[in-house]
Structure 1
Amino acid sequence: MKTDSYIQKKVLSMVNRFYLGAFFVFLSASGFAMIPIFATFAYRAEVSVFTLLFLRFLLAAVFFLLYLFAGKKHRWKSGSKIPYFPLFILGGVLYTFQSLTFFSSVKYIPSALASLLLYTFPIFVALLSYLIDKERLTVHILASIALSIGGLALAMGKIVGEINPLGVVLALSAAVCYSLYIVIGNRVVKQLSPVVTTTFVTVFATVSFFFIGLSTGSLTFRMSGQGWAAVAATALVCTILSLVTFFRGLELIGSTKASILSMLEPVVTIGMAFLLLGERLTWLQMLGACAVISGAIWIVAGQGRQKQQPRDGQQPDTFMP
């Protein structure tokens, strides 16, 4: 009887842990989903892309630096060297370019479409993993890639002549750059926790946007109340809150499940774009969107099954949306 009671409590604890972790990841995905929405409001208030991104990463960097030095829980291993140059490549180059292209794409195409195009990144991750890490492209993954591409064709079929192709190129460039960030990040920063990695990424991204914005004259802090509100929401809700809840969900349910649940992000973006911006998708486009997201989920799930269970002390996959 005692054994049965112990097993029941253990199972209940695991179930509760999963649902709590899923809740945190859903909160995170919902926050990230609002990025193109708040960016649209910022642009309407004539906030420049460089100003928006500089302030976003500046506030995030300050928060995570304070969080990091407030306690030792997420510090790097004693005696280990910090890979500053790889971290600069991740934050100061790859993620800077990813953010710049994605935020710029929202100026030319609807938010829902930009988010959908960004979430083709699992296709590029799978292909890069095959080319760099020699991971097998199984029938499962190839079928998932085909499903995502077919869904994207459906989603864009009716509007291909009505949208700015520059926006499409920018959003797809963001997806490619994000996939490079993930693949390279998982190879070079395994000795760091996700919080430490994210701290360095936000710091280097802040520095990059500051100098690029300063040299191009794109940084300006004279903006309306709506502009400041959009900037604050992007930094606090879409970055800090979303990352904190994702890290908590990551601890509870692991990187693969968290990555799969994060695929809800474009779904939330599509809903919020409809409610707040009046963007509408046809039923055929909605079907295509479902296919893209389903394909992305199956790719992530397929790659998760290929990976071995992490050893004790090994950190989960690098992540920053």
Structure 2
Amino acid sequence: MAHAEVAVVMVRRGVAATLVSAAAFGFMPVFASYAYGTGMSVTTLLALRFAVAAAVFLAWLGPRGRLGRPTGRQWALLALLGGGMYATQSLLYFTAVGRIAPALAVLLLYLYPALVCLLTAAAERVRPGLAVLGPVLVSLGGLALVVGPPEAGLDPVGVLAATGSAVSYALYIVVGSRVSAALSPSVTTAYLALFATGSFTLLGLATGALEFGFAPAGWGWAAAVGVFSTVLAMSLFFAGSAALGPARASLLSMAEPVVAVAAAWLLLDGSLAWPQLAGGAVVLAGAAWGMLSAPAADGSGARAGGAAAEPPAGERVSGSGVPG
């Protein structure tokens, strides 16, 4: 096969992998809603999600001798990112999914690319120009349309949780992208998931929220979140990023909120009002602008949801991750 033909095949596979990854992430709010319907708490679902993800990644990488030997500094960074920052983002996001329409939660999460632009400019002490302020203003305009007037009846706690998840995810990306280490994305994800598991287990034990009295079907939905919407979704995003590059893969992964809205409409009877859909489109336009404007190392992180979709990091510990 000629070199050009091989390149075309690789691009097609990369596109397919990235779109399937986006779809898998897009179904995560639906699976979470079904899990909550069995009586499962947010903390329990997140503890199970990350436990499953950590177990699968470690079981896959360990026997192949690919886990590496993190240094003390790397362990500290992984603990901060996985057990602290990413756990906080996930807790806020999954709380929002339980309080407002799941489609709305994922649309609000996509405020994060514009926020990454703003935080990156602040960290580098650069006066923000149109490339930074433009995505932020567009995304905020979309946020206003999504939320609507105060009498719109939206749960304010859910809206704040979703918006907070975008802010914390942007912080996670900016902080993580500035620290490099000789760990591959899959290894980084395994350790981040491990630390996140520990955080949610401790949180659940301390608050009494870690309980397993939910209906048996909850185990299946928790497994769907852990395997389909975390392990499979992140692995395919890694593959797509390797074939397409992180920037193009990140832009393609914006199919996630489209899938989330469609899945919620079909499976949860969760249709959004036209102003909310219009606002979501504006938020996504701001997100696309932010991804295109941000430096490759900082603006390429695309995914919500899992411990991290770390494509732009290459062989580094990076904050580019997967929302959710």
Quote the Cα distance in structure 2 between the aligned partners of 1:222 and 1:173: 29
Contact 1:60 1:235 in 2 (8 A): yes
Q: Deviations over 1:178-201 (max 9, x none)?
A: 111111111123432111111111
* Alignment partner, residue 243 of structure 1: 234
Contact 2:74 2:181 in 1 (8 A): no
Inter-CA distance 194–79: structure 2 relative to 1 (3 Å threshold): closer
* Alignment partner, residue 29 of structure 1: 22
- Write the letter of the residue equivalent to 2:141: G
* Alignment partner, residue 6 of structure 2: 13
2:45 is aligned with 1:45? no
Q: 2:100 aligns with which of 109, 125, 135?
A: 109
Between 188-197 and 118-127, the greater mean CA deviation after superposition: 188-197
Contact 2:115 2:136 in 1 (8 A): no
* 1:145 shift after superposition: 2.3
Q: Which has the higher contact order (CA 8 A, sep 6+)?
A: 1
Inter-CA distance 66–144: structure 2 relative to 1 (3 Å threshold): same
Contact 2:135 2:290 in 1 (8 A): yes
- Write the letter of the residue equivalent to 1:166: V
Q: Superposition pairs for residues 197-216 of structure 1, below 5 Å?
A: 197-216=188-207
Identity %: 39
Quote the Cα distance in structure 2 between the aligned partners of 1:92 and 1:40: 24
Please report the TM-score for the alignment, with normalisation by the length of structure 2: 0.88
Q: Which runs of 5+ in 2 are unaligned?
A: 299-310
- Write the letter of the residue equivalent to 2:278: L
Q: 1:255 aligns with which of 231, 234, 246?
A: 246
Contact 1:198 1:320 in 2 (8 A): no
Quote the Cα distance in structure 2 between the aligned partners of 1:50 and 1:222: 13
Quote the Cα distance in structure 1 between the aligned partners of 2:240 and 2:117: 24
Q: Which runs of 5+ in 1 are unaligned?
A: 1-5
* Alignment partner, residue 3 of structure 1: none
Contact 2:117 2:293 in 1 (8 A): no
* Alignment partner, residue 58 of structure 1: 51
* 1:275 shift after superposition: 0.3
The number of residue pairs the alignment matches comes to 310
* 1:306 shift after superposition: 9.1
Inter-CA distance 40–79: structure 2 relative to 1 (3 Å threshold): closer
Contact 1:141 1:298 in 2 (8 A): no
Which structure is larger by alpha-carbon Rg, 1 or 2? 1
Inter-CA distance 80–217: structure 2 relative to 1 (3 Å threshold): closer
